[in-house]
Structure 1
Amino acid sequence: MADNLVSRSIVVDAPAEKVFDVIASPYRHHEFDGSGTVKGLLHGPERLELGSEFGMDMRLGVKYRMTNRVVEYEPNRLIAWRHLGTHRWRWELEPLEDGTTRVTGTFDYSYRFVFFYQLTGWPARNARAIEQTLPRLKHLVEDAA
């Protein structure tokens, strides 16, 4: 299973609660998305929680819409969502002793269709996207502090 995860981490100079506030707000996802595919929120709650559904306006060559559901949730520590596909986007927050937070973004494609994801190059593409997303999230949170 660990072979079918793509994870990257960064340390943000802010408490976990501040980082989680940004990630749990679907209205803000386009602000820190490093893939360039998330364009804005179509529908959803102000703040995500377990079971929340939210729709995003997306673009990957062509415009499309995607509805996601939160499938893992621990306030200020963990949130993950999935859509029609079987993969998950997971955000884990680890408060550090100095008041900073280690943020880990993960593309988890371990549930089904592993060969399809590998064949189409999504793990490498999503690794690059996470590497571009994390610094954007870091700056967004730190600039607001």
Structure 2
Amino acid sequence: MAQHKVARSVVVDAPAEKVFDILASPGRHAEFDGSGTVRDAVRGPERLGPGDEFGMDMRMGVPYRMANRVVEFEEGRLIAWRHFGVHRWRFETEPLSDGTCRVTETFDYSAGGPALRFGYMLAGWPARNGRSIEQTLVRLKDLVEGGA
């Protein structure tokens, strides 16, 4: 794994398209968020595409709103967004030969300068993001396989 990225993967017993449909629906993000910070989509399209903007109600101690923009998009395979910061949250779906798919979530903070990357490390964000990603993938797998 490249430096300044935190990634985890899980195999989901469903086609990649089904998983991607949930990932591309901001109104469903709170259902699988493992960080405990995502509350609800407050603006934007029902289904995301390249360059789309969407807003989320969040809570990390106190409630706040976050505006995001889709910065990477490949239908059915890749979606990534960022807010005002330079880091990205990326989801990739990889179809497997048995009809399942591998889902990889990556928190990518490589675009920030050395001071920003050092600040993330000092604050413990990579480890914290790793734990959140692991929980997100468990929740996403349960959501998709549960027939939602």
Place the TM-score, normalised by the shorter chain, in its bin.
over 0.9
| 1:114 CA drift (Å) | 1.2
| CA deviation string 1:51-70 (max 9, x = no partner) | 00000000000001000000
Match of 1:106 in 2: 106
Report how many residues are paired. 145
SS in 2 for 1:3: coil
Match of 1:33 in 2: 33
Give the aligned residue type for 1:141: V
Matches within 5 A, 1:90-101: 90-101=90-101
SS in 1 for 2:137: helix
Give the aligned residue type for 1:94: E
Match of 2:130 in 1: 127
Which region of structure 1 is more displaced relative to structure 2, 24-33 or 118-127?
118-127
Match of 2:59 in 1: 59
SS in 2 for 1:20: helix
Please, what TM-score do these two structures have when normalized by structure 1?
0.97
Please, what TM-score do these two structures have when normalized by structure 2?
0.96
Match of 1:46 in 2: 46
SS in 2 for 1:115: helix
| CA deviation string 1:77-97 (max 9, x = no partner) | 000000011110000111000
Runs of 4+ residues deviating >3 angstroms? none
| 1:126 CA drift (Å) | 0.5
Match of 2:118 in 1: 115
| CA deviation string 1:20-54 (max 9, x = no partner) | 00000000000000100000011010100110000
Q: Which runs of 5+ in 2 are unaligned?
A: none
SS in 2 for 1:104: strand
Q: Which runs of 5+ in 1 are unaligned?
A: none
| 1:144 CA drift (Å) | 1.3
Identity %: 70
SS in 1 for 2:120: helix
| 1:117 CA drift (Å) | 1.2
